[in-house]
Structures are given as structure tokens and as C-alpha cells.
Amino acid sequence: MYRPKLIVFFQLKRFNTLLIIMVVAFFMISLKATTQSDLKDYKIKKVVIDAGHGGKDSGALGKSSKEKDIVLAIALKLGAYIENNIKDVEVIYTRKTDTFIELYQRGDIANKAKADLFISIHANSFPQNRRVAGTETYVMGLHTDERNFEVAKKENSVITFEEDYSSHYEGFDPNSAESYIIFSLMQNAFLEQSADFASIVQKQFRIKAKRKDRGVRQAGFVVLWRTTMPSVLIETGYISNPTEEAYLKSKTGQEYLASAIYRAFKEYKTQIESKSHFTHTATKPGTFFKIQIASSKLRIPLDSPAFKNYKDVVEIKSKGRYKYAVGNMVSYDDILKFNRIVRKDFKDAFIIAVKDGEIIPVSEALKNNN
């Protein structure tokens, strides 16, 4: 299993100054963009659907099919579902035909459109074991196991099809573990929203499409790194598995998969927009909003230097982990403002709801007052 080493940080010198500036700039844009979901009556108006690979890049190969063809069919069906049933959403495609689109351009399309969600659709492959099957949905992050790293390397290797790709990605090497450390500067800007949508996608695959659920995972995908909105990369199945390949290339299978993603999008949209209507509410007595700033399997002293700027840090044990939070507010408006301040010190900080010392879903705390 891959474990990052401290020496990796020193190898950042392999990246030139321009790369660091570019990454930090993207991160600041992303961080600023997260506040859009805090606005009252916020709605999801634009979604970018990205069919992976295309043109000279076939993607993974099955015995009788190509990834690029399968994912394009699913992407077009998904877009049609949204266009025909959710009239207030604009669907933007990175490609609608068998054409090759560079990875950096896919993210740029979403960024220039100021999209609210980016969905990249792929099919997986593991020829070393053709029995492996199932769906996975990835969010941006540093991989914690070798298998996730291999999937990221496979998808990121697309950049080698691009002319002078080194100038677009400033020396990024899709096969180098050290290269991926740069992602840690910005990986969590939209992690919570991305993970929420990814979880709903996997639920719909499992319940509606009856697919094997291989879970929500994290890995360093260039196509997600370039976006400045919640983004996921969906692996719709394993083209290396003969049974699953037959399903993936069938019209029925593609319809079920597209329908499952559509249902997930619809549910996510409703969830996000429902939350926005609660921005001026307060919770019932006994329920408070806090900002979670850390989580650990081991206890962290409350006087730890990591918490030096905060005197009201509390420890909450939940699901076998110690979680650390600051703030104690009844008003959701007030906690939103406080969260922006806390995130200057803790980039991954997010709002939680606590009732009688137990963490409860924020949506539940808000609905209780509705």
C-alpha cells in the first residue's frame, strides 16, 4: 500500500515557480467560489457532462468495445434526461462526438461556463483480474491505496496524447507518485459537496441500476483538479469483465446507468437548493451549529498548538473518531459567517450540527425549525 513520505515535500523543487503560482491561484478561485452555495435561494443552473477520452484516445479496451464509445453514449443519454425533465438547468457537454479533448480544456469549459457541477464519465479496467466488477465514484484527493493510484494514473495518462503536454501541466508526470503531492494544496475546496453527490450516485447505482457498489473514493485526477466547482469522476463499470462489458455496451445498460446518474443529480439539486432556503433560520433549543476543524482516530490535546487561535475547542467522539469543533451558534446565518473566518486557518473546516452532545445531519437541524 502506498504511503506518502516526508521527503516528497522536498521534491516540490521539481515543480517550477509558475506551477506553484498557478495552483495557488486556482485554489483561491475555488475557495472563493464555495461561498456561492451559502447564498439565499441558490440554485443549480448549469451542469457540465464530460464523456471521457475520445478521438485518438480510445480509453480502456474491452474484447469488443471501447471506453470512449460507451461513455459518450451514457453522457448523451444523461444530458437528454436532464434537458427533458429539469427545464431550469443548462446542460453543457465537453464533447458530443468522437473527438479528442485535452484534459485541461475539459476543466476550462466548466470554469468558463461558471458551472455548478462537473460530471466526468468513464469505464474502468483491471485486466489482471477479469472478475472485478462494479461502479466507483471518485472525488479529488490524494489516494491512500495503490489501487486508487493506479486508476488515477490510467485516467491521467491521457495527457500524453496531447501535443506539448508538459507546457500545459508544468512538468506533471502521471506516473510519478511525487507529482501528486501538489494536489494537496487545493484538494478539499469542494470536497464536501463532491462527496455528497458521489454518495448519491453510488446509492442510485446500487438501488436503481442494481450494480455492485464499490464505493466513493479519492484520487488525484487532473480533470477534477482543473475545475472550480463540485466535481466527480464516475467509473460506470469494468470493461475488462466480460459480463459487465456486455452490460456497458448494451442500450439497456447505458439507459439504466444514465438514469441512475440523472436521479442522483435530481436528488442532489433538491438537497442543495433546499438547504439554501434555510439560510435565515435558527434551530430549536438544544441544537447548535459548530465548525468542525479536525478529526482523528487518536485524541488531540485541546491545548495543542494546532488550535492556538481558538479557546473554545471541544471534543466530540463520533463513530469511533475524535472530532474537534469550535463555535456554538443557534443561527445558521451566524455560523456561515464564522465558517468563512475559520477556513482561513483550517481550509477543510465545515459546518456541523450538534444536539445534546451528538452530531446530527445539518439538514435535520434545519428541517426541525422549518
CA distance 71 to 83: 18
Residues 82 and 108 in one domain: yes
Is there a domain that residue 51 lies in?
Answer: yes
Q: Which three cell numbers stand for residue 127?
A: 485486466
* Residue among 13, 18, 10, 8 at smallest CA distance from 169: 18
Q: Are residues 223 and 253 in the same domain?
A: yes
The 10s digit of each residue's pLDDT in 250-262 is 999 999 999 999 9
143 falls within a domain: yes
Query: Do 208 and 295 belong to one domain?
Result: no
Sheet of 135-140: strands edge to edge?
90-93, 46-51, 117-124, 231-238, 135-140, 213-219
pLDDT in tens, 157-166: 555 555 655 4
Q: Has residue 192 got a pLDDT over 80?
A: no
**pLDDT at position 27:** 45
The letter for the amino acid at 127 is P
Residue 348 is predicted with a pLDDT of 87
pLDDT above 70 covers a percentage of the chain that reads 71
Same domain, 345 and 222: no
270 and 349 belong to one structural domain: no
Residue 330 in domain: yes
Q: Which domain holds residue 39?
A: 7-275
| Domain closes at, from 240, 275, 310 | 275
CA R_g for the chain? 21
Determine the pLDDT at residue 73. Answer: 98
Residue 43 C-alpha cell reads as 440554485
pLDDT tens per residue, range 287-344: 888 999 998 888 888 878 888 878 788 899 888 889 999 988 888 888 888 888 898 8
Overall number of domains in the chain: 2
Report if residue 356 sits inside a domain: yes
Nearest Cα residue to 52 out of 105, 101, 14: 101
Predicted confidence at residue 139, as pLDDT, reads: 87
User: Is there a single domain that holds both residue 271 and residue 303?
Assistant: no
Place of cell 438547504: 275
In a domain, 281, yes or no: no
Looking at per-residue confidence, does 285 or 102 come out higher? 102
Q: Are residues 233 and 309 in the same domain?
A: no
Sign of the CA dihedral running 324, 327, 331, 333 = negative
Helices assigned H by DSSP within the chain: 7-10, 17-33, 67-85, 103-113, 146-156, 165-169, 191-207, 222-225, 242-249, 251-276, 332-342, 362-367
Any idea what the CATH number is for the domain that residue 67 is in?
3.40.630.40
- In degrees, to the nearest 5, what angle opens at C-alpha 163 toward C-alphas 160 and 165? 55
> What torsion do the CA atoms of 253, 200, 347, 5 make, to the nearest 10 degrees?
-50
Rounded Cα gap, residues 33 and 37, in angstroms:
8
Environment class of 315 (CB within 10 Å of its CB; exposed 0-12, middle 13-18, buried 19+):
middle
- 19: amino acid identity, one letter: L
Rounded to whole angstroms, what are the CA distances from 72 to 58, 248, 260? Answer: 11, 11, 16
Residue 2 lies in a domain: no
pLDDT at 66 over 50: yes
Rounded distance between C-alpha atoms, residue 84 and residue 180, angstroms: 39
As a whole number, the mean pLDDT across the chain is 78
The pairing of strands 90-93 and 135-140 is unpaired
| Neighbouring-strand partners of residue 290 | 352
Listed in sequence order, the residues at least 6 apart from 89 whose beta carbon sits closer than 8 Å to its beta carbon are: 44, 45, 46, 47, 82, 83, 269
Same domain, 130 and 266: yes
Do 215 and 297 fall within a single domain? no
Q: Residue 106: what are its φ and ψ, rounded to 5°?
A: -65, -45
- For 118-125, what is the mean pLDDT? 96
Q: Are residues 264 and 146 in the same domain?
A: yes
Do 269 and 294 have their domain in common? Answer: no
180/318 same-domain check = no
Is 87 among the domain residues?
Answer: yes
Neighbours of 163 (CB within 10 A): 7
Nearest CA among 30, 4, 37 for reference residue 347: 30
102, part of any domain: yes
Domain end point (choices 223, 248, 275): 275
Predicted confidence band of residue 244 (pLDDT cuts 50, 70, 90): very high
Mean pLDDT lowest among 75-89, 126-140, 288-302 = 288-302
**Angle 240-246-248 from CA coordinates, rounded to 5°:** 80
- Any idea what the CATH number is for the domain that residue 322 is in? 3.30.70.1070
Helix or strand (DSSP H, E) at 218: strand 213-219
